Amino acid sequence: MAETSYDLIVVGAGPGGYVAAIRAAQLGMKVCIVEREHLGGICLNWGCIPTKAMLRSSEVFHLMHRAKEFGLKADGIGYDLDAVVKRSRKVAGQLSGGIGHLMKKNKVTVVMGEATLPAKGRVKVKTDKGEENLTAKNIVLATGARARELPGLEADGKLVWTYKHALQPAHMPKKLLVIGSGAIGIEFASFYNTLGADTTVVEVMDRVLPVEDAEISAFAKKSFEKQGMKIMQKSIVKKLDRAKDTVTAHIEVGGKIEKHEYDTVISAVGIVGNVEGLGLEELGVELDRTHVVTDQYCRTGVDGLYAIGDIAGAPWLAHKASHEGVMVAEHMAGMDVHPVKPETIAGCTYCHPQVASVGYTEAKAKELGYEIKVGRFPFIGNGKAIALGEENGMVKTIFDAKTGELLGAHMIGAEVTELIQGYVVGRQLETTEEDLMHTVFPHPTLSEMMHESVLDAYGRVIHM
């Protein structure tokens, strides 16, 4: 087949890739995007979006059980797991279809198939109809990542699941083991625990949600245990013995092996970048533990070749990938761009209660040599939180004692994944405590706690 030439070829149509394609097209480039499975990538089809749809169902189920607290009656409360899953798949399908519309609107050529890079500036795509040979001055790698599987803990889809199996469960777990307490593990633990599964979470580190501030992790652990979860920290699943309908997990705790039986195991022990089969090493692309090494502008070191999103550096988050997509498109167009700073990227976990953070933890700020001021404010001191029946939570802020710069913000409680953006803007604008103190927060809102936490750091808190 004859070669087709473009200004830009994007490999991978996830939240990094499709955004890069759209922005490049807006800037007048002739763009092609290659995708082997679904437009929208893992995020829209098997990650961010369908999990939030399922978690919304469990949240409503939880609230239905609390109806009496709000003066309401709800009898015969139950759920239909198949219907819950069907709704989540419908939501994912709707958004994936929307990406196709956006590609057409922006005149981006879509090629469905498996891509390889046989040489610099060239992409070969194996499609259902054969092969297509594409050329471009610039190529963006946005192939994403997949679940990491540890030896002996591999998923089988029946007893041992990855996130994909957990999104389309073959059965409702009765006794569930979740390996790993990062965002993915905790979200699934929260969902299935709320629906009634006897849930245990095993974490190799000394606390759950280990990337979060230690105080927030401790608060989360107490909340999860109050909901009936069993949390095993500083523990390692060494082996899984699989029978017909059960799994016996050999868990090392304090140097001793404990055996526990479950009917379902979800493995959530991190990700590996999708770097295989692309021909990257032959091109001279440097890899570090399945991820592409890049500079601050996402350049790989090979002329005209960029890498963004989960295939590149941490944090491995969809919104970071999208922002990188915009940045690289504008960089190619010769615009003055600002590199993505990891410490300005928020992390959100949609468990119950929700967790969100941006910037440095208290420990990290001290490690970096900052003299700090720390403020805290509890949900129980906020009128809107009490009115919502959501008194469980806290907001924590960390400031540079010398300059007043907001170094970090950490939150746990209802809707904090929506609230955190206020602090994200603050970090981006290099906001000081004075700016935040002089800001008028509307009443009654949960956001008032953000203000009070700042005031507390400087001994001026009002409602505590």
So which residues are the catalytic ones? 443
**Backbone conformation region of residue 304, classed left if phi is above 0, alpha if psi is from -120 to 50, else beta:** left
Residue in 228, 171, 176 with CA at minimum distance from that of residue 202: 176
Short-list 292, 324, 312, 344, CA closest to 23: 324
Contact of 328 with 304, CB cutoff 8 Å: no
Task: Specify the residue for token string 């003055």.
Answer: 336
Q: Of 435, 395, 390, 436, whose CA–CA distance to 414 is shortest?
A: 390
